[in-house]
A and B are shown apart, each in its own frame.
Chain A
Amino acid sequence: MNLLTAQAPVRVPRSGKGLALGIWRLVMVALVLMLSLGFTQVAVAQAEPDREMRTAAPGITADQWRQVRSGETDANFRDSRHDSNYNLINASGETWRTLRNRWVSPFGLIAVFGMVGIITLFYLIIGRKELAEPRTGRKLFRWSLLMRSLHWTVATLFITLALTGLNLLYGKFVFRSLFGDAFWGWMISASKVLHNYLGPLFGILLVVLLVKLLKDNIPKKHDLQWFKQGGGLVGKGHPDAGFANGGEKAWYWLLATAGIVVVASGFVLDFPNYGQSRDTMQWANIIHAVGALGLTAVALGHIYIGTVGTEGSLEAMTTGYVDEAWAKEHHNLWYEEVKDQAISEEEVAARKSGDSSSDVSASRPS
């Protein structure tokens, strides 16, 4: 524009018409000035095609599309969205989608339902593990009220998180068509809210539980033998076990590793207010899903062994006491240490109804 206005006055006198007489003179000057502006523009463009070629924006090249595809955002990248930290094409989104929908989703289902199948088969073929010796009726104190409360709180939270998490991954394939949109909308919304608010609580309590159980779960040499004998399934006799046997320790360390990873990735997903990027959350989501589905599958094993799978186990976590016969069979090394502390059922009842202060510390190896 500057170029054109600079040239215009030079051209005006050449046309000559601008010098007409009368009161129209001024109007005509203005008119011609405007007309000549238009002609000048055409003249310049036609006169210098090479110059036009040089200054024209080049066509978009393959390099630019390659740049888009790579997701690269350099210092000269602009996005008109006010707080956007996105690139033009989020190529990692497709990777995330494939990982989640093609791998995590089907294999998670196989893991969880596979575990249900294995446990059912195990129960039907091998059956419940009954106590080898008859109960003596004398009880050993195993879990304090605090530990039992902690266990059941974490367990309830775990089950809630597992069910809501499974609903978030698989619910739409089952419940939407089953219940209709109104109920499904409420159900999935409640799942998300429960999952997001209870998750952090679970994480904190899990850490507390892990810290309190650490000293009972230090791996020992006899744990290896425990695994070699499949926890007593393979070979004769029951392998040695302290307060916690090899299987319990494995579950402990799985929670202490994979569990913490699931909790940590959950925190990444749950607090978008810290502005973590899409890519970070994609990976956090995959890690969270893989870890959580794995833990859910293993937890089914833990639940089975702790309830219907083994006679005498559940009462440890409900009453806090176990029978001598159970302790001797499953935790022989612990039994040797605490056998002189065994009490009768009447004494247990007396303790429970009366002075609860003695219910604080379990008889554990120090």
Chain B
Amino acid sequence: MAQMKFMCDAERCIECNGCVTACKNANDVEWGIQRRRVVTLNDGEASEMSISVACMHCDDAPCMAVCPTDCFYKTDDGIVLHDKDLCIGCGYCLYACPFGAPQFPKQNAFGERGKMDKCTFCAGGPAESKEEEYQKYGSNRIAEGKLPLCAEMCSTKALLAGDAQDVADIFRQRVVHRGHPDGAWSNNPQASADNLAYDAARKG
């Protein structure tokens, strides 16, 4: 079974927001909700860096762990989905999520938030019919054998989606090509292994 993952290569992301638009378009998300966001650090400085974030479909998902209704579940492909019929809009998943992925259509008095919405890895969610699924969760591209539209539309291929192993392989090739001493990720325990790649790149 695949373990579906997103990865955003921050050195490639050009902050075009194409992924954000693609997501809104593919899933027909309701007004005010934006399942994917692009964050830019140090905007306008030499160290500027952009990264596209949505639900990262964590292995040990904090949202699942704190949900009072237990409405989250993991598909066989490692995609974290939730049942909007069970969601009570308490907001706990939002408190716990490292990526700010869960969003609520409302933010009213007496904790009236409506049903939580988040990225589904374009895998829809639990519903009786296809129409209901689309209306509640957006498209189910995974069922059609397609990857999430955000990653497919990414103009610089900064945003990668797919089986963790494939995504890692692509990124590893890039790292070798760039010759980063620490594999582009700081405090990487694999740094010494990547240093070999760095040396190899230098020689070539």
Interface residues of A, Cβ cutoff 8 Å to B: 57-68, 74, 76-82, 84, 86, 88-91, 93-94, 96-97, 100-101, 167-169, 171-172, 176, 181, 184-185, 188-189, 191-192, 196-197, 200, 269-273, 275, 278, 281-282, 285
Contact = CB atoms under 8 A, between A and B. Distances in A.
Contacts of A78: 15, 38-40, 43
B37 A272 contact: no
B24 to A, nearest CB: 11
Nearest to A182: B85
B111 A270 contact: yes
B96 A93 contact: yes
A188 B68 CA distance: 8
Contacts of A82: 32, 34
B100 A80 contact: no
Contact of B99 (A90, A96, A192, A271): A90
Contacts of A68: 41
- Report the 9 A-B pairs with minimum CB-CB distance, sorted nearest first: A62-B186, A86-B100, A78-B40, A172-B70, A81-B37, A76-B43, A80-B38, A192-B88, A65-B186
Contacts, number: 156
B69 A270 contact: no
Given A79-B37, A272-B113, 19 more contacts: A57-B48, A59-B178, A62-B187, A65-B187, A68-B41, A78-B38, A79-B40, A80-B38, A90-B97, A93-B62, A93-B98, A94-B96, A96-B96, A196-B110, A269-B111, A271-B109, A272-B91, A272-B111, A285-B92
Contacts of A94: 62, 96, 98
A84 B100 contact: yes
6 contacts: A76-B43, A81-B34, A89-B99, A90-B97, A192-B90, A271-B109
Nearest to A82: B34
A187 to B, nearest CB: 9
A41 to B, nearest CB: 19
Interface residues of B, number: 58
A169 to B, nearest CB: 7
A164 B133 CA distance: 31
B86 interface: yes
Nearest to A100: B66
Contact of A169 (B11, B41, B68, B91): B68
A195 to B, nearest CB: 8
Interface string B47-63: 11101010000000010
Given A80-B20, A88-B53, A188-B69, A97 B96 contact: yes
A277 to B, nearest CB: 10
B62 A97 contact: yes
B85 A282 contact: no
Contacts of A81: 34, 37, 100
Nearest to A68: B41
Nearest to A275: B107
Most buried by B among A80, A84, A86, A185: A80
A123 B17 CA distance: 67
B22 interface: no
B97 A93 contact: yes
A88 B34 contact: no
Contacts of A77: 39-43
Nearest to B53: A88
B141 interface: no
B182 interface: yes
Contact of A181 (B86, B97, B100): B86
Nearest to A64: B49
A94 B58 CA distance: 13
A335 to B, nearest CB: 46
B41 A90 contact: no
Nearest to A84: B37
A310 B88 CA distance: 41
Nearest to A176: B70
Given A59-B178, A62-B187, A96-B96, A80 B48 contact: no
